[in-house]
Structure 1
Amino acid sequence: MSPCALLPTDPCQNGGHWTGTGCLCPPNVDGARCQFGASTIDITAELDPSVMLLARVTNRDFSEDMRDTSSTAYRSFVDEFSRTMDRIYHNVSGYRGTRVLALT
């Protein structure tokens, strides 16, 4: 009898599938282990009446009052963010604006 080697668990992340030699990543995910978001994302094939998006904003400092939807800080940030998204996506067919659900 020869020694038995344990097979590693699936090392793929973000919905990737281990093929035995590498990870097969789902759309919009890249990296050897599907650990990164793709540098370009084709959303036309997945566009529905609404798209849920989690965004990380790195050029602003978060303050606790931004959790409060009635605060000036929250409203100011949401207004600026929405205007920015409108400028970026105004030419996308079907785009109807941005609705911020929460800031954390």
Structure 2
Amino acid sequence: MLHYFPTSITLLLVVLNGIPISDADEAEKAASKVPLPSVCENDDPLGMISGSIADWQITASSTYPASWVKGCSEGNARLFRPNGLAWCAKFKSSSEWLQIDLGVRAL
């Protein structure tokens, strides 16, 4: 399964059927050929707010080192953190990303 992301997110790499496609134009062409459901099959929350998604399921492109700023780990990349903490990317760049492992194998 290939997921299409809104244009506000920079596409860095698409893996289609186990083959990485690094060229953005080729990735866009490949993504346009994958049928997407017109209606979301499940509109329940994913678990980022409730904590159902564990910290180990969240990966980031980079994180501020703890020696620079405390509390910037990927695990803090959630809405409405009661402690006010948040994920902080190490670099101010549009190529920073978060990846959430939903526990489902996708091709």
Asked whether the two chains share a fold, i.e. TM above 0.5, the reply is no
* TM score, norm. by length of structure 1: 0.21
Report 1 or 2 for greater relative contact order, CA contacts < 8 Å, sequence distance ≥ 6: 2
Q: Which has the larger radius of gyration?
A: 1
**Structure 2-normalised TM-score?**
0.21
